[in-house]
Structure 1
């Protein structure tokens, strides 16, 4: 069978909230393919009903993706085209599909991206943080210890940091961001393109206080964006400034723990890091 008779896998972006964001090309292709591989067939069924389409669905998620490769490749070999969709946004961006795309491309099949909504790009373009360089980390680990380790590995990164988070862990994640990354600017995008779309801006500590005052702000799906580490020159200057501040506080009889807390509040960084620095200055004196 010649390649011209093979089907195509279309990787189709779908709305992240507002159904008006569905592109005409994406809607047309969903109606033309023989099969739609969907992360959640129930969710995609609602989208198809909205579009007035009736297309066979097949579930494809992280637990069955590898096992679906042969089945979907057989359909392509028969000349049938397939659309791959996730629950919302662009497939493969913190969603299933990587294994399927990798395996099909390795076999010489045609994979065509159909661009559209993506939560991380949507959030970044309205956050007011630098976008010339950013580092997307998807969802941070669920376990607190592993999550903090991941954040600690990012402390020196100068790019804007971008994470996805669920309402179940948003408070814990913001707390760890404040503890590990210090008092950096954080922009929280919530319920993007939906009725209650909200952008919150401040330190992690300030955002937690907002959620405490208004629990509704902890609901929905989140994109967390954190300012990158300052340039090295600024970091060195801040270190010298902190050392001078810590030395002055200790000379006035302020305790090591309290001096570290004051430095963290005024200059950013973590209390733990300033505590170690203050303790070293005290011992040197």
Structure 2
């Protein structure tokens, strides 16, 4: 990628910076994030009390503005006006990269519509952090957020993902962990491989790999470990290789030697293999004439 020589501490007026913050270990904050948070006119935060502690740890003093699910629509209009007047601001969530299952979508969408500059300041993300150390395929994955709280809806969502071949990634809270693991077992099967990650970058960081049944059994046997926020990663569906009509040649020849009619052989193999009738019928005729 192109190397931008512009100083990372240069703050532009009329700009909102989307700043990723640590998901646990405060040492994970980037130099650029510290510089931006210490230079903007204000910081919009999901929970101002939580963010105040972070800023204090970094010796940063900046006005804090609350922006959460319940006030985002109205607050976005206010922040738009302030940015259009030339102020600079930063948006942070309680942990990790903003907008990933956190508030901010309405604000960023509004700013883009009004041609206000939005600049991402990359950093920690629970999804990427968990995947990087899980040992599951990461060339293709699907982040699904939190599963629904109600069991029926939870099962419906998982059923829609049952044949998805991508690694599936979910967030889960400790009080719903066991219900979600049970639902995964019910829909995806007890043998599907998965990894549960918790307390990442913190003192009690833990990755629990195994089949869905094994992970469920582990947390059943260790209820003291059902703490902290979880990232559940489940291997995608592995489709069995499709067999061709020619894969049944020996069986077809054997039935032809017993003088079974072509139609009967075809019906038997279609019922057995699930292959299309036309392909089987053509192969039977081909072998019969050879």
TM band (smaller chain): 0.7 to 0.9
Match of 1:187 among 195, 220, 240: 195
The residue matched to 2:203 in structure 1 has which SS? coil
CA distance in 1, matches of 2:239, 2:139: 15
CA distance in 2, matches of 1:181, 1:199: 20
Given that 1:186 and 1:202 are in contact with CA atoms closer than 8 Å, whether structure 2 keeps it comes out as yes
Unaligned 5+ residue runs, structure 1? 238-285
Does 2:222 align with 1:210?
no
User: TM-score if structure 1 supplies the norm length?
Assistant: 0.79
Does 2:155 align with 1:148?
yes
Question: Which residue pairs with 2:33 in the alignment?
Answer: 26
Given that 1:85 and 1:91 are in contact with CA atoms closer than 8 Å, whether structure 2 keeps it comes out as yes
The residue matched to 2:77 in structure 1 has which SS? helix
Does 2:49 align with 1:42?
yes
Q: CA deviation at 1:5?
A: 8.2
Partner deviation per Cα, 1:225-268 (whole Å, 9 max, x = no partner):
0000003427x89xxxxxxxxxxxxxxxxxxxxxxxxxxxxxxx
Q: CA deviation at 1:118?
A: 0.1
Partner deviation per Cα, 1:46-77 (whole Å, 9 max, x = no partner):
00010001110011011111111111011101
CA distance in 2, matches of 1:187, 1:113: 29
The residue matched to 1:61 in structure 2 has which SS? coil
CA distance in 1, matches of 2:211, 2:74: 44
CA distance in 2, matches of 1:176, 1:82: 42
The residue matched to 1:17 in structure 2 has which SS? coil
Match of 2:118 among 111, 116, 119: 111
Q: CA deviation at 1:215?
A: 1.3
CA RMSD of aligned residues (A): 1.6
Does 2:11 align with 1:8?
no
CA distance in 2, matches of 1:173, 1:152: 13
Given that 1:210 and 1:217 are in contact with CA atoms closer than 8 Å, whether structure 2 keeps it comes out as no
Question: Which residue pairs with 1:273 in the alignment?
Answer: none
The residue matched to 2:237 in structure 1 has which SS? coil
Question: Which residue pairs with 2:5 in the alignment?
Answer: none
CA distance in 2, matches of 1:118, 1:70: 27
Unaligned 5+ residue runs, structure 2? 1-10, 245-290
Which range is displaced more, 203-212 or 45-54?
203-212
Partner deviation per Cα, 1:170-207 (whole Å, 9 max, x = no partner):
00000000000112001001101000000001122211
Q: CA deviation at 1:93?
A: 0.5
Distance 1:206 1:5, change over 3 A: closer
**1:38-187 correspondence runs (5 A):** 38-182=45-189, 183-187=191-195
CA distance in 1, matches of 2:148, 2:176: 10
Larger Rg: 2
Given that 1:165 and 1:223 are in contact with CA atoms closer than 8 Å, whether structure 2 keeps it comes out as yes
Structure having the larger proportion of residues in helix = 1
CA distance in 2, matches of 1:232, 1:205: 22
CA distance in 1, matches of 2:12, 2:103: 27
Given that 1:162 and 1:224 are in contact with CA atoms closer than 8 Å, whether structure 2 keeps it comes out as yes
Which range is displaced more, 80-89 or 4-13?
4-13
Please identify runs of 4+ aligned residues in structure 1 that moved more than 4 A.
Answer: none
Partner deviation per Cα, 1:90-111 (whole Å, 9 max, x = no partner):
0000111111000100000000
CA distance in 2, matches of 1:216, 1:31: 39
User: TM-score if structure 2 supplies the norm length?
Assistant: 0.78
Given that 1:11 and 1:111 are in contact with CA atoms closer than 8 Å, whether structure 2 keeps it comes out as yes
